[in-house]
Amino acid sequence: MTDFGKVAVLFGGKSAERAVSLKSGSRVLDALQRQGVDAHAFDPAERRLDDLAGFDRAFIMLHGRYGEDGTIQGALELMGIPYTGSGVMASAVGMDKWRTKLLWRSVGLPVPDFVMLDEGSDFSAVENSLGLPLFVKPACEGSSIGVTKVRQAGGLRAAYEEAVKHDSLVIAERGVMGGEYTVGILGDQALPIIRIVPATDFYDYEAKYLRDDTRYLCPCGLPDDREQALRAQALEAFRVLGCRGWGRVDFLMDEAGEAYFLEVNTSPGMTDHSLVPMAARQAGLSYEQLVLRVLSLATLG
């Protein structure tokens, strides 16, 4: 096995996704230590970043703000410590669903129709233009925090007011209701697609992390040639943003079978409910092998 030196596993942090990060990071830490890696827990919410001096690599298991948005990546760049996942720019762009959509649309990748909202928006006109159902979400949050599904006319303003508690940038997005899918990315490889079938109305925080009745289909049920084409497109979507190392690209399918790219996750979850480990297992990689592979891709620049 490669000698990775002294490894900091960064998890916890100050974002709204702290609880999930603690679960992800503790599992990664345990898997690394079981394989003889000199890995140590490091919670940036409880320790000064200059305590990272002396570490040779960082495995980033922070989710959301300050950990997935280019902030910690910039600090590690300044300290010269190679880290897992995407660099500063790609992390910052990937955290911003609005700018991600703009970039994808500019290169011809399909995204759901959307409108940016503010206090002065004509909410009724937005409902009419996008149709119902539609989704309202903070542009720079993850784990479905602050997301509302608007089913009935007149519901958009309340959904906006919930989302704006979490971020000043708020998106209203046309509901694409034919199925939700995700593609894990590992190095230059797109992993097998997973179809997500929540028992709840949509794939919300509860369905992602707390419930045991969310179904994950891998193989996803798409014809092989269609799956291969979508995996290639997901890899393109990942690279267009400048992402590297590992991550996850989510897309939706409409009732006619057309795919629409939704968002990228540059620091995916690694809990017992998480999707990249599931897809890696389908590709023949154990959890232990996956964490070593991710760590081996740590870099600077």
Per-domain residue ranges for the chain? Answer: 6-84, 94-110+177-296, 114-174
Q: Which residues pair with 58 in a beta bridge?
A: 8, 83
pTM metric for this prediction: 0.93
Q: Which residues pair with 6 in a beta bridge?
A: 38
Domain 94-110+177-296: what homologous superfamily? ATP-grasp fold, B domain (3.30.470.20)
- Neighbouring CB atoms inside 10 A of 252's CB total 22
> Residue 208: what pLDDT?
61
- Cβ–Cβ under 8 Å, residues 261 and 237: yes
- Alpha-carbon distance 250 to 265, whole Å? 8
Q: What is the CATH number of domain 6-84?
A: 3.40.50.20
> Residue 146: what pLDDT?
86
Amino acid letter, residue 115? V
Mean pLDDT of the chain: 94
Show Cβ contacts of residue 199 under 8 Å, excluding neighbours closer than 6 positions: 207, 211, 213, 214, 215
Task: Enumerate the active-site residues.
Answer: 17, 143, 209, 248, 250, 263, 265, 269
CA 80 to chain centroid = 25
> Residue 204: what pLDDT?
63
> Residue 205: what pLDDT?
65
Domain 114-174: what homologous superfamily? ATP-grasp fold, A domain (3.30.1490.20)
- Alpha-carbon distance 147 to 116, whole Å? 14
Helix/strand/coil (H, E, C) string of 18-73? Answer: HHHHHHHHHHHHHHHHHCCCEEEEECCCCCCHHHHCCCCEEEECCCCCCCCCCHHH
Does the fold of domain 94-110+177-296 match that of domain 6-84? no
H or E element at residue 135: strand 134-138
> Residue 29: what pLDDT?
98
Q: Which residue has the tokens 């007011």?
A: 161
List the chain residues with pLDDT less than 70: 1, 143, 202-211
HSE, side-chain direction, 13 A CA sphere, residue 150: 28
